[in-house]
């Protein structure tokens, strides 16, 4: 669930229905998404003149002051805050936003989301070797250091590469390394998937 009180499908949570408070409207909806679409279609859809770009949400300070919006899109974005509808969700942390540019800005500035976005590809050779040591694969440290194996290479390593290029002949070692790489990829993606039975703990 996101911080704004809705799940990934835009479902309202905590309340069975959400009323439309646009002027005297009596419409209710069980989802934030449907409530937002109702306002856009039935209330904003009938507005033709630029002078009428005003919020009529009953509890809105802008509505009481008669504040006008320069563009229809600005008013639509403003309405999202009233109905708690944020359609653009970050796939790495589930935080949600009204506009895609805001989502992109968040991902570019968030270190945690950047790490999940790029994953192992950000690792340099030193970090790869440290990870091997922490994973009790000490015998591979020297080999990976000599070949300058970094995160980008680690992302595409397969059994054939380990056997033919790195000359790791022990099958159990290759299988364990590949299982650890798969598990690390999933941890960066934040995937909530069932554990592969071949993966090491």
Residue 30 pLDDT grade (very low, low, confident, very high; cuts 50, 70, 90): confident
pLDDT number for residue 201: 35
The verdict on domain 119-189 having CATH code 3.90.660.10 is: no
What are the tens digits of pLDDT across the range 3-25? 343 444 444 444 458 899 998 89
* Residue 161 buriedness (CB in 10 A; 0-12 / 13-18 / 19+): middle
Residue 115: what pLDDT? 66
Domain ranges across the chain? 18-87, 119-189
Least confident segment among 88-92, 149-153, 196-200: 196-200
Chain position carrying tokens 């403003």: 78
Please tell me the chain's helix, strand, coil percentages from 3-state DSSP, rounded to the nearest 5. 55, 10, 40
* Unique residue bearing structure tokens 């950000």: 122
Beta pairing, strands 18-19 & 28-29: antiparallel
pLDDT band at 113; cut points 50, 70, 90: confident
pTM: 0.49
| 72 pLDDT above the threshold of 70 | yes
- The CATH number given to 18-87 is 3.30.160.60
Please report, rounded to a whole number, the percentage of residues in the chain having pLDDT higher than 90: 29
Asked whether 41 and 22 are in contact (CB, 8 A), the reply is: no
Residue listed under structure tokens 């999202």: 80
Best mean pLDDT range from 91-100, 112-121, 136-145: 136-145
**97 in Cβ contact with 106 (< 8 Å):** yes
């Amino acid at each position: 669930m996101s911080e704004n009180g809705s799940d990934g499908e835009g479902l309202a949570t905590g309340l069975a229905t959400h009323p439309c408070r646009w002027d005297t409207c009596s419409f209710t909806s069980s989802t934030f998404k449907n409530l937002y679409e109702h306002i856009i279609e039935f209330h904003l859809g009938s507005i033709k003149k630029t002078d009428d770009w005003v919020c009529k949400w009953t509890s809105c300070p802008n509505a009481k002051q008669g504040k006008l919006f320069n563009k229809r899109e600005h008013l639509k974005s403003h309405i999202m805050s009233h109905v708690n509808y944020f359609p653009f969700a970050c796939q790495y942390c589930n935080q949600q936003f009204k506009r895609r540019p805001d989502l992109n800005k968040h991902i570019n500035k968030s270190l945690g989301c950047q790490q999940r976005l790029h994953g192992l590809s950000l690792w340099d050779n030193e970090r790869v070797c440290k990870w091997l040591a922490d994973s009790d694969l000490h015998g591979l440290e020297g080999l990976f250091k000599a070949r300058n194996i970094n995160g980008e290479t680690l992302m595409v390593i397969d059994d054939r590469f380990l056997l033919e290029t790195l000359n790791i002949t022990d099958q159990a070692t290759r299988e364990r390394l590949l299982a650890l790489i798969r598990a690390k990829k999933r941890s960066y993606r934040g995937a909530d998937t069932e554990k592969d039975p071949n993966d090491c703990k």
